[in-house]
Amino acid sequence: MPAPVRLFLASSNRGKLAELTELASECGSGDRFTFELVGDFASTPAFDESAPTFAENAAGKAIHYSRACEGPVIADDSGLVVPALGGAPGVHSARFAGPGATDAQRIGKLLDEMRGKSPAERDAYFVCVLALARDAQCLAVISDRADGVLLEQPRGAGGFGYDPVFYLPQMKKTFSELSRQEKNRISHRGKAFRKLLAAAAELFGPGQKSAR
């Protein structure tokens, strides 16, 4: 069996690393890839995620950190899109309530913005875009989404970000009320990661150029 391909995650978040490793195992790719954080992430100048689209931010970030990494780099950008708010919070999801705001403050601002909206205006979706780069060259850009509706009050104790107010009618639960396995199966990030792993298998499978 060929040695596993090393993929590096452009993040300092070990929770994301654990999530990616778990997703790879769940979809049967656990023996094909190993995952590591970019080793000098903290000392590398930060990438300015100021582009107007998720794809530009993810691709730019992957290319940026691939210059300082001996192997393929995965980077992501994700957020919540509310059509009734003109697409906000969108790429500004993490900064929607200002720099350093807590999840509770971001949710509070979102609920304030949604006050008085009709049920038909409460549709929303999460987007995740993942990019794969090596040696400052973008090799793949993958995206997926999860559709739901925004509740008027948070529900559930799990998850993070806007999860407590993002309700999935088909599951009758918010993202915060899902088990980790359920969320991995249907979330925007879970679906996008599975697509990316399939693309990586094509790029770095037997007979392809080594990922180093």
pLDDT of residue 58: 97
pLDDT digits (tens, 9 = 90+) for 115-135: 999 999 999 999 999 999 999
The mean per-residue pLDDT over the stretch 98-111 comes to 96
188: phi > 0 → left, psi -120 to 50 → alpha, else beta; which? alpha
Q: Please say if 144 is a catalytic residue.
A: no
- Please say whether the beta carbons of 133 and 139 come within 8 A: yes
pLDDT of residue 66: 94
Quickly state the pLDDT bin for 206 (edges 50, 70, 90).
low
Catalytic site residue from 77, 112, 144, 163: 77
> Which residue in the block uniquely carries the two structure tokens 């929303």?
124
Quickly state the pLDDT bin for 114 (edges 50, 70, 90).
very high
Q: Write down the CATH number for the domain with range 5-204.
A: 3.90.950.10
- Let me know if 147 is exposed, middle or buried by CB neighbors in 10 A (0-12, 13-18, 19+): middle
Strands 137-150 and 33-37: unpaired
Q: Where are the domains of the chain?
A: 5-204
Residue 179 backbone dihedrals phi, psi, to 5 degrees: -70, 165
Strands 73-81 and 5-9: parallel
The size of the chain, in residues, is 212
